[in-house]
Structure 1
Amino acid sequence: MSSSGFTTCLWFDGRAEEAADYYLSVFKDGTIGRIGRYTDAGPGEPGSVMVVEFEINGQKFIGLNGGPQFTFSEAISFQIHCADEAEADYYHAELTKDGGEESDCGWVKDRFGLSWQVIPPGAIDLIGDHDPERAARATAAMLKMKKLDVAEMRRAADGFSG
């Protein structure tokens, strides 16, 4: 295997360049790379964008304009491990605006239908606590949430309600 790691290919229906620009507006550490265009060989319109390479937060992606045959599902998601609550608030807000939507347990879908898990610091530690009863209480609290509230998860883990 090459030492250059993995590249995630994301399938879009004609909106790959728009998506890449959007992700670079949300994640400030990013760049656009090469843009490949369809030729007379098809299957897309000659000159239209076929693929766009981009990188965000050190992760390489290719946006492919493959057509309407495939769409995203929650079976694949990207986790965003946030440095603090403000960062979690930022990503939750940015990814749900303009047609995005929040889901359960800190998951959101962006306007392209791609799923993200916005994880504030401490959340994973609480649901993975070495004390199974604390972990169960934190998990039960988390399962009732849309956006994760670590303070509330901690109160639940400690045995305090509401």
Structure 2
Amino acid sequence: MAQITQKITPFLWFLDGKAEEAVEFYVSVFDNSRITSVLRNGDTMSGPNGTALTVGFQLEGQDFTAINGGGDFKFSWAVSFVVRCANQEEVDRFWARLVEGGGEHSQCGWLKDRYGLSWQITPDILIQRTHDPDPVKATRVFQAMLQMTKIDIAAVERAYRGED
């Protein structure tokens, strides 16, 4: 039985039997991540015998559950997961990994992965600079971010200094 480690756990609904595949992908992208449980369909469950019904997993210590649902329920941009990054190398790595295999680029550091889940790849410095007590600096950084797809930390810093 899966151990409950947090009060609220995101529960992700996947179509076409992709839950276990998606979880394996996410666990490969993030360090300190693992599959914690798999509930497989049997004779009395809804899916083909032996296939995953639910998959419990952790990404960087955050618990999630994935389900092989059915129907027409799809992910939208309305819900996303923010990945905080310490530097441009992390931004580039997470961006590349999460869009590989058919993901979709958006703007302001947002992307959708091949399963349709939305992510915000956000460097810590962007949060710091957009929350600067100087509204002129913060606004310059925010306006620069609006022009970006993947966040460029060097461009954020230039905007912060008023060089762009």
* TM-score for both structures, normalised by structure 2: 0.91
Structure 2, unaligned stretches of length 5 or more? Answer: none
Q: 1:97 aligns with which of 80, 95, 100?
A: 100
Question: Would the alpha carbon gap of residues 16 and 146 (structure 1) be closer, same or farther in structure 2, given more than 3 Å must change?
Answer: same
Give 1:69 deviation, angstroms. 2.2
Q: 2:21 aligns with which of 14, 18, 21?
A: 18
Question: Does the 8 Å contact 2:87/2:153 carry over to 1?
Answer: no
Give 1:3 deviation, angstroms. 6.9
Separation of aligned partners in 2, 1:136 and 1:30: 36
Q: 2:50 aligns with which of 34, 47, 63?
A: 47
Q: 2:63 aligns with which of 60, 63, 68?
A: 60
**Which amino acid in 2 is paired with 1:61?**
F
Higher mean C-alpha displacement, 152-161 vs 136-145? 152-161
Residue in structure 2 matched with residue 6 of structure 1 by the alignment: 8
**Which amino acid in 1 is paired with 2:65?**
I
Separation of aligned partners in 2, 1:4 and 1:25: 22
Separation of aligned partners in 1, 2:6 and 2:31: 22
CA RMSD of aligned residues (A): 1.6
**Which amino acid in 2 is paired with 1:126?**
R
Structure 1, unaligned stretches of length 5 or more? Answer: none
Give 1:120 deviation, angstroms. 1.5
Higher mean C-alpha displacement, 41-50 vs 60-69? 41-50
**Which amino acid in 1 is paired with 2:29?**
V
**Residue by residue, what CA displacement relative to the aligned partner does 1:56-76 show, whole Å, maximum 9, x if unpaired?**
100111110011321111111
1:124 matches 2:127: yes
* TM-score for both structures, normalised by structure 1: 0.92
Question: Does the 8 Å contact 2:83/2:119 carry over to 1?
Answer: yes
Q: 1:145 aligns with which of 145, 148, 152?
A: 148
Give 1:138 deviation, angstroms. 0.8
Question: Would the alpha carbon gap of residues 54 and 86 (structure 1) be closer, same or farther in structure 2, given more than 3 Å must change?
Answer: same
Higher mean C-alpha displacement, 28-37 vs 7-16? 28-37
Separation of aligned partners in 2, 1:24 and 1:18: 10
Question: Does the 8 Å contact 1:105/1:143 carry over to 2?
Answer: yes
**Which amino acid in 1 is paired with 2:89?**
A
Separation of aligned partners in 1, 2:6 and 2:124: 29
Give 1:46 deviation, angstroms. 3.0
Q: Aligned pair count?
A: 160
Q: 1:133 aligns with which of 99, 121, 136?
A: 136
Percent sequence identity is 44
